[in-house]
Amino acid sequence: MMHPDACAPQLAPLILLITLLGATWPPSTAADTRPLAPTPAELETAESVVGNPLFAEWTTPFATPPFAQIEPEHFEPAFAHAMALHRQEIAAIADNPEPPTFANTIAALERAGRDLDRVERVFSVFTSSATSDAYRAIQRDMSPKLATHTSAIMLDEALFARVDDLYGRHQALDLDPEQQRVLERTHTRFVRAGAELTGADRERLATISEELATLQTEFRQNVQKDAESFALVLETDADRAGLPDAALSAAAQAAAERGLDGQHIVTLARSSFESFMTFSTRRDLRETLFRAWTDRGGQGNEYDNEELIRRILLLRLEYARLLGYETWAAYRTADTMAGTPDAAKDLLDEVWEGAVAKAAAEQAEIRQIMADEGVTHDLRPWDWWHYAEKARARFHAVDEDRVKAYLELDGILAAKFAVAERLFGVRFTEREDVPVYHPDVRVWEMTGPDGAHRGLFYGDYFARPGKRSGAWMGALRVQHRLDGAVTPLVLNNCNYNKPAPGEPALLTMREAEVVFHEFGHGLHGLLSQVTYPSIAGPFVDRDFVEFPAQIMEHWMRHPAVISEFARHHETGEPMPPELLERMQAAANAKSGFDNVEFIASAFVDLAYHRLTDPEAIAGLDVDAFEDGVLTQAGCPAAITMRHRSPHFRHSFASDFYAGGYYTYLWAGVLDNDGFAAFEEAGDPFDPELARTLYESVFSAGNRQPAMDAYVQFRGREPGTGALLRNRGLTGSGED
């Protein structure tokens, strides 16, 4: 099953047009580990960073950030100085009197901005995983400044003239295939950022980018602050009725972290929310929690996002029109595997039919249980998780609490490292000497088949105040070989319930799959073997980036992995074969619900970004728009969007998934079709398939177009048959 709460790494200054800080997507130029020496022309800003740890030589293991030395006040002067250095580097490229060459223009651009990248990457860790009012204030201030800084580079006429000159005669240049690809992608990025615009249009595009950066940052911060302001206090035994011990322990730990020792609270972290919605027998409290969950960012309070949605949509439409596209969705999909919004919508429609039919069958099982229990009220959204779990127990003899007893976090971590070793020959060894930004964070060193150091992997798995919800990958440094071997520093973040001290962290099967999903993104960064940082790791088509993550989920649910690594947290015994068989049989027990709530959100996201009338957008009623899209699609009344618009970060907190939430389903076609190759081989670790997966995808970065990479691995283009089959849906998909 796809995990559209999981997302990829972070933007960096030059490679893509920045519209926010801490955005979820891809790493760019690696942070240099050398000490930074300002030139005389930079002394004004250089004086402000004397003694600043962000501009010191990092003597930590593997030149990792010395997090304990870094304070919020270090960032604003560091950003100012790093941007000054970056401007000088760009000016040196643009004003070079020598004719443009790959070395003095494209390779020089690949090197430019390393100081800024280093500062931004560390800052993004704090703003996403350990934020505070101080960091939020800096983020609000810096987002538009960084957008302006990047726009000035991408719209620099002299700079683009050099890139354009090289692109125009690229076939005559003596470039290797990787250099050809870097040149093509660099030119495309400049064009899509408006480099071919002139006069007032060029200036307006830069202004829009700055405004979007501000609005999207505000949207993201509103969602987090609104979520953090809510806590459902379970005051009595009746309030806690139905909750298993693990959920009670997590609720007690969440209360303790907020200074409420001896109490129990449920937060709006997804693990906390879904556990309560599944097991609580208090329907009134389930409704309270559900409404708080769905109304984040849309409660008419100081954190309300509805006006921001309208303003963001208007600016995106104007941006797309300036670049010659009818809609933002057309602009968004033009540089992807899908190519057009129609192609994206066609895929959503194809899977929707089977998802709705499957959800209807699930609803029939739920209604039978409700009738048997004498329940007379209608099935509402806050009932679905609760009765779906009862249906799974009755019709499939699977108890989620019993399954969780075998899915302890440390066992899942061991499983994913073992899978990576068997597929790709890499090994992970935990390190205690690498600085971290929070005590919950753990670090592992990855070594290659030859035993040589290949990178570091940071794992941050528990929810806490100051950490945004969801799951994502980040990177403090990306791999490249431009100036010698630079090894990556990759982070995974999740938001699971933290157990009380001395108790195990038990996961649901879905949560265990997310651990593998994010690790797939992590491996995409860690295994990268390219020369140029702009095409490293996950710097691929936006609807291909989820493929390496989603294919990794298949190993988590494979019987060979479960039977070895799913061990009871008390006895150490492996999961009994009968429970494993029942769990496999029940894998799609809720896939109708899961696919409907996801596709409903994708429908709405795409519909927003296909709007063409500015007046209609300016007067948009968000609730009515959602209802209209879902009614037209025939969405079941008891299932809502996975993400309602006011907290839909994929759509409105950054540009990366805006108009592109469909990409999880697009990648779902790829990952199901791709893993089918291992199933056809009869070995989930088939050496030849693992080799081609490594060479074509995990190590290849963006050396070639995404479809070419997939075909190189699979031997043909993908079909939807495996996805529909694996999700228990019906349709006319083809293998």
What is the per-residue pLDDT across 529-588, written as a single tens digit (0 to 9) for each? 999 999 999 999 999 999 999 999 999 999 999 999 999 999 999 999 999 999 999 999
Phi, psi of 483, rounded to the nearest 5 degrees: -130, 50
| Cα end-to-end distance, the chain, whole Å | 18
- Evaluate if residue 32 carries a pLDDT over 80: no
Contact 589, 396 (CB under 8 A): yes
Average pLDDT over residues 708-717: 98
pLDDT digits (tens, 9 = 90+) for 51-68: 999 999 999 999 999 999
Residue at token pair 């692109």: 167
For 443-541, where are the alpha helices, taking DSSP H only? 509-526
Give the bridge partners for 457, in sequence order: 444, 490
Contact 239, 285 (CB under 8 A): yes
Q: Cβ contacts of residue 63 below 8 Å, gap of 6+?
A: 33
Q: For the chain, give the percent of residues with pLDDT over 90.
A: 91
At residue 541, the 3 state secondary structure works out as coil
Catalytic-labelled residue, pool 120, 408, 513, 518? 518
Contact 286, 193 (CB under 8 A): no
User: What pLDDT does 601 receive?
Assistant: 98
| Banded model confidence at residue 42, pLDDT cuts 50, 70, 90 | low
- Gap between the Cα atoms of 303 and 222, Å rounded: 5
- Evaluate if residue 393 carries a pLDDT over 80: yes
Average pLDDT over residues 417-437: 98
| Banded model confidence at residue 46, pLDDT cuts 50, 70, 90 | confident
- Gap between the Cα atoms of 78 and 60, Å rounded: 20
Of the candidates 209, 465, 215, which has an alpha carbon nearest to the alpha carbon of residue 320?
Answer: 209
Average pLDDT over residues 206-211: 97
Average pLDDT over residues 300-307: 96
| Banded model confidence at residue 44, pLDDT cuts 50, 70, 90 | low
- Evaluate if residue 10 carries a pLDDT over 60: no
- Looking at this protein, which amino acid is placed at residue 450? D
Q: Cβ contacts of residue 298 below 8 Å, gap of 6+?
A: 304, 305, 306, 622, 644, 645, 646, 647
At residue 458, the 3 state secondary structure works out as strand
pLDDT digits (tens, 9 = 90+) for 129-164: 999 999 999 999 999 999 999 999 999 999 999 999
Contact 167, 183 (CB under 8 A): yes
Q: What is the mean pLDDT of the chain?
A: 93
At residue 435, the 3 state secondary structure works out as coil
User: What pLDDT does 466 receive?
Assistant: 94
Reply yes or no on whether 518 is catalytic.
Answer: yes
CA distances from 121 to 17, 537, 606 (A): 16, 16, 30
- Gap between the Cα atoms of 513 and 36, Å rounded: 41
- Evaluate if residue 340 carries a pLDDT over 70: yes
- Looking at this protein, which amino acid is placed at residue 533? P
User: What pLDDT does 734 receive?
Assistant: 59
User: What pLDDT does 43 receive?
Assistant: 52
For 609-683, where are the alpha helices, taking DSSP H only? 614-618, 622-633, 649-652, 663-681
At residue 377, the 3 state secondary structure works out as coil
- Evaluate if residue 424 carries a pLDDT over 70: yes
Average pLDDT over residues 514-542: 97
- Looking at this protein, which amino acid is placed at residue 688? E
- Evaluate if residue 37 carries a pLDDT over 50: no
- Gap between the Cα atoms of 625 and 147, Å rounded: 30
Q: Cβ contacts of residue 371 below 8 Å, gap of 6+?
A: none
Beta-strand runs (E) in 255-346: 265-266
- Looking at this protein, which amino acid is placed at residue 701? G
- Evaluate if residue 21 carries a pLDDT over 60: no
